[in-house]
Structure 1
Amino acid sequence: MKLTTLFALTPVALAFSINAQETQTDTAIVEESQVEKIHIVGVRQNRVSRGATGLTMELSETPQSISLISEALMQSFGAYNVNDALKLAPGINVEEWETNRTNYTARGFEIKNTQIDGVGLPNDWGIVTGALEAYGYEKIEVIRGANGLLTGVGNSSGTLNYVRKRPTNEEGGEVTVSAGSFDFKRLQADYSTLLTEDGRWAARFVGAIEDKESYLDGLENDRTFLYGVVDGQLTDNATITLGYSYQDANTDGNNWGGLVFNYTDGTQAEWDVSDTTAQEWAMWDTENTNAFVEFDYIFDNDWQVKVSYNYRGYEEQDKLFYAYGTIDKDTGLGLVGWPGRYDSDIDSNLVEARTFGTFELFGRQHEVNVGVSHASSSDTMYQYGFDYANTPAYGATPAFPYAFDAIAEPDWFDAVLYSDIEQDLTRYFGSTKISVTNELFVIAGFNAIDFERSGNNAGTTIDNEESEASPYVGATYAVTENINTYVSYSDVYQPQEQYDLSGQFLAPTKGKNFEAGVKAQWLDDALLTTFAYFTADQENLAAFAGINPENQQYYYEGVTVESEGFEVEVVGQITDALRVQVSYTAIDVEDEAGNDANLWAPRDVVTFQLGYELPAVPALTVGLGGRWQSEISNTDYNVEQGSYFLANAYATYAVTNDLTLRANINNIFDEKYITSLHTIGFYGAPVNGSVSLTYAF
């Protein structure tokens, strides 16, 4: 089955810059450095992208759960793509249910809202196709909970904000070469330069080339990434930024769907880690293009206007082979094959204008923001047919595990239009931050949206039109100078891309989300601890209901789901030499009858990353990271995965001031586990390693 797309993401609701609390002096764990204003009148300073929350307050004051994953942390653990980077994030599950498609989830739900520099862009069912390069980002902001503070649309999972690298004030950069297990090879470079002597204009260029095979039989991937950005001051009060990125990723031998774990006698099958249902002719090639322009003007009274334009282009070509059914334990027979070939083309455009500033009332200073945005998306997909009666790839397969070249590629017919969907979302937003006392401030805001979706999906005419207004309110109270308590409420509203048995999209899911917590700073603000309690009610949330016998497509129905849980996070410097980020998340998700729901989501998750600079050997830094999750299951597929623990380690040695050597080892204990039961996954990578050499100039 080929999934259709939804553009369900919108830009940030509030328009204030985030001043992140500085909790670390070394960025190898979390880059929570003090963030300066983007616009310094008359002088071009380090450019830092506007945060996803847009709040003029530190992380310790923000009335929502937020974590930061820095570039240094990603590089230390060899997390070169977004999937690997988010495995370092507290409260996030990376659901790799296919080799080329992944969902990110939090608090028991799929994350449908992702942003780049605080601006939402369309994505596909919350699905990320292919391995997206992470080297172009200086950090990833992970905001957990409902999206009312940010977008006015979304469920109770969270929002991911990818913060692009910007030019620095100094000439220089780095080049890194890496090699490792499964014939892994990589070259990456990052260089920033001043374009004018006065420093008012600067540019930055980032590139990466990667090629690797896999522990999975026949799987190969290569990826090329290029990114350039220029920014500077047009006048003392006006600034502009222009950027462009391009990624070309190619995969051979990818699977479509995961392994089949069901025997005909009802027991669960177990396979070799390298086993796959794919065939050698399978492929999945993608191209991602992103371009953006930002214009800002600061008035003499410090009010600010920002206008931005973002474009996203996405193309893919794939040849796929899907195997499903139940397997006879003795013969290995029982699987049925289904080939597919598709071409897709998505073009998305988003324009936003907003103004914000401060005002005085009752002797205190407050903030206000208003704006409007319009986003449009065009999604076209073509399908290639084949002769069902004379195609070996359609029908019973050889005994599994079969050879990688056991099943011939179909003779494809000419491409025909499969779906053509146009989507538009216009959003009006306003917000204010009211300083009630020195210790108490309140944030209140609204988001009003008009959403339209029309076109044709697999022969079904689509014509949807939605309008909704969503409020948000939050408050933070400083108990002491170092301890803040907070509470927040948001409506839940999310247009859905899943369709029912008739082929029509489900109505939006609606509900309510509540969160309360305590944030405390310790050791002269070097360490931040957070405790958050959250609840959510969602109605008409899409749930798998079966397979349409006429076209073999999945269809869905709306269900009511209630969730609650809590999170604990500790991040910062324990000592000058020891850095730490530790988190624990516990959730409970139930349907309206009180039964456990979304059992593919682990109820308990622990993540940690430690970095230690050896006092006896100042040039040497060692790190250890890991993730433990409780057991999960998928009742639709009758598959279970017990609890498991994954551990990774690194060691970095400064050979000279400019030359650094790093070694990484992943899955130290060679744990065997299924990557995801969100749909059904495959086995994760066994123990593997890499070495990298970085030269800074």
Structure 2
Amino acid sequence: MRGIPQPVSVATRQWMDDRALPDLHAVLQHTPGITVDYIDSERVNYYARGHQIDTLQVDGLTLDQNASASIFIQPDTAMLDRIEILRGAGHPSAAVNLVRKRPAREAGGSAALTLGSWDRRRAEADLSRPLNDAGTVRGRAVAVAEAKGFFQTGRREERRALYGVVEADLGPRTMLTASLQHTEPDASGSWGGLPANADGSQLGLPRSTYLGTSWNRWDRHNDQAFAELAHRLDNGWGLRLSAAHARLRSDGFRQTSFTSASATDPDLVDVSTAIYDGGSSAQTAAALVADGPFTLLGRQHMLTVGAQTLHVKNTGTAGYWGVSPLRGVDLRSWNPYTSYPEPFYTPGNATAYAGTPSQTQQQGIYSTARLSLTGRLTALVGARMGWWRHDEPATASGSYGIARATTPYAGLVYDIGGDPHHRRGQGRRRHQQRQPRPGRPRQHRLLQGGRRQEPQRRLGARSRRLGGSLQGRTVGGGARVQSGAMPHGRRGHFPPGRLRGRRRHGGLPHQSPVRGAAQRQQPARQGVLRQVRPHRHLLHLRRSAQREPHAARQLLSRLHGPLFRFFLNHQQP
């Protein structure tokens, strides 16, 4: 990231685990400079620098989530190794790249159980192992099952997700990767928000108010297939060909909607139902990239050339709206379970609707050169030429496009810090020299959004078992137990302690909790849950282990005699 002239944020696997963030929506809520804007419960827009983020990539290939927002599912972080956010990448806002997990070269696995407020239950399983004796073929599988309620009465969601990936070494310098992913939520959803008074003020409805019914549905599923062939040449150049196909489809949409029934009483509304089905989006993407070094004027430089294509075919949803209206309903007495029995379409009780099918195609070629001007100064120059076309056959004016749109690119990077590894080591030594005396914890000033943070107090218990490989901690009425992660592969989990002392998210330091003298004497650990925002109470259990001879017997024999340490943690602004 030091050589990129734009701001970059990277949400690592450890960072997402520390905060128990289950999906992309939760990660971007915790990312500096990203604004989350809700259309309703299932459709969410993201903004950076005042512009909408319209570029989402999965393993480097574009996925159009905006054209199919009603059937797009927020990706589950259990399948991800990291999330990369690059601001100003050909657009004033940002590009978000989801990098999924790859198989590790050693056998290992992990499991996690999460229990939270509003009947939240989530189970994860992650297993990676070689598939042959030589280890040239490796596989990894991730499974997630989740069921939860919400603070709104009557809302619920169930989610199932599966991800499988296989890597095969076709030669010393050639590797083939293939993966499949399936995500399927069954959700009640919440179509729209709460009404307001004529002057825009709130009606004072309870926080648990849900202007829907217990039979509401917003079901859908997303499937993705991915393949990549990578080859490294003897001269340092690399070639990578990748392709993906995604299918997003609705499995049933049945939602209530409200309109005002009185010009003087905002609590009186008319209720009706919309019943839609059949919406889908088929997306095919491919990319070819070559990059490597070259020598010019006695200095070594880097060159990247590539081409991309994306084809999106959307099938419009069809159904009925205004089904079985209910007139003059008082919101103050609304009950999602009894106020509105589930209606069904019959001729004459609704209005038919059919969405317009469309196709969008875009292609692009690009090149970027990193020119080493001096030992510290690097110039980046490049350009991208693109073609884009949108067609709606059923609409007379629905076809338009852009041809040969050229976007130049230039940047300068000056390294003012010297060797980053040497500097980080010096920084840690200086930090250790400034440690306060035992019994006098350091007083930090934590800033959130430019404001001073209120004092925080935590009371909990810490436990260590299996020689420290299995650790637990209670925080704010919840608990988290986690062992060391599985052996890391080329893009697998981070091993225990891999990121100790770095506490960074895209170059920005974490807002670290204040630690007392007794707490600072404990070794740095992976998996400390600093904040639990999505739920008031959270119980998170995680377990991972390596494949060793008689591993289960060894683990069971060491479970006795846990050592508990109690702590009181106080944070000052």
Residues 63-120 of structure 1: CA distance to partner in whole angstroms, max 9, x if unpaired?
0111111122212221112211222222122223422121122122211111112221
SS at match of 1:392: strand
Q: Counterparts of 1:666 and 1:460 in 2: how far apart (Å)?
A: 60
- 1:98-497 to structure 2, matched below 5 A, reads 98-125=40-67, 127=69, 129-144=72-87, 146-148=88-90, 155-252=91-188, 254-260=189-195, 262-316=196-250, 317-325=252-260, 332-334=267-269, 337=272, 339-385=274-320, 391-393=324-326, 397-400=329-332, 402-404=334-336, 405-412=338-345, 417-456=354-393, 462-467=398-403, 468-481=405-418
Q: Residues 263 and 686 of structure 1: is their aligned pair in 2 closer, same or farther, counting only changes over 3 Å? A: farther
**1:307–1:279 CA distance, 2 compared to 1 (3 A):** same
CA–CA distance in structure 2, aligned partners of residues 246 and 577 of structure 1 = 50
Contact 2:222 2:246 in 1 (8 A): yes
Q: Give SS of 2:367's match.
A: strand
Q: Quote the residue 2:38 is aligned against.
A: 96
The equivalences for 1:529-678 within 5 A come to 628=449, 653-656=463-466, 657-663=468-474, 665=476
**Do the aligned partners of residues 287 and 365 (structure 1) sit closer, same or farther apart at CA in structure 2, a change above 3 Å counting?**
same
Segments of structure 2 that go 5 or more residues without pairing to the other structure are 440-444, 479-532, 546-573
Note the C-alpha offset of 1:246. 0.7
More helix by share: 2
Shift of residue 629 of structure 1?
A: 8.2
| Structure 1 residue 200, shift from structure 2 partner | 2.2
Q: 2:425 corresponds to which residue? A: 524
CA contact (8 A) 2:272 2:324 kept: no
* Structure 1 residues 688 and 320: CA distance shift in structure 2, 3 A: same
Structure 1 Cα separation of the partners of residues 473 and 359 of structure 2: 47
Q: Structure 1: how far apart are the matches of 2:426 and 2:69? A: 38
Preserved contact between residue 663 and residue 692 of structure 1 (Cα < 8 Å): no
What's the secondary structure of 1:61's corresponding residue? coil
1:284 Cα deviation after fit: 0.5
1:9 aligns with: none
Show CA shifts across 1:172-225 (max 9, x none). 111112212111111101111012333222111111111111111111011111
**Given the alignment, which residue of 539, 542, 545 partners 1:694?**
542
SS in 2 for 1:688: coil
In the alignment, is the contact (CA less than 8 A) between 1:77 and 1:664 conserved in 2?
A: no
The one-letter code sitting in structure 2 at the alignment partner of 1:164 is R
Task: Tell me, in whole angstroms, the C-alpha distance in 2 between the residues paired with 1:378 and 1:86.
Answer: 27
From the superposition, tell whether residues 655 and 286 of structure 1 become closer, same or farther in structure 2 (CA, over 3 Å): farther
The question of whether the paired residues in 2 share the 8 Å contact of 1:347 and 1:377 is answered with yes
- Provide the C-alpha distance between the structure 2 equivalents of 1:625 and 1:249, rounded to a whole number of angstroms: 38
SS of residue matched to 1:83:
helix
Contact 1:354 1:372 in 2 (8 A): yes
Q: Give TM-score, length-normalised by structure 1.
A: 0.62
In structure 1, stretches of 5+ residues that fail to align are 1-58, 149-154, 484-519, 528-572, 579-614, 617-623, 631-642, 668-684
| TM-score (norm. length: structure 2) | 0.74
Q: Paired residues, what number?
A: 475
Q: Is residue 249–residue 278 contact of structure 2 (8 Å, CA) maintained in 1?
A: yes
Residue identity in the other structure for 1:143:
L
Cα root mean square deviation, aligned: 3.7
Q: Report the Cα distance in structure 1 between the residues aligned to 2:455 and 2:54, rounded to whole angstroms.
A: 26
CA distance in 2, matches of 1:358, 1:349: 31
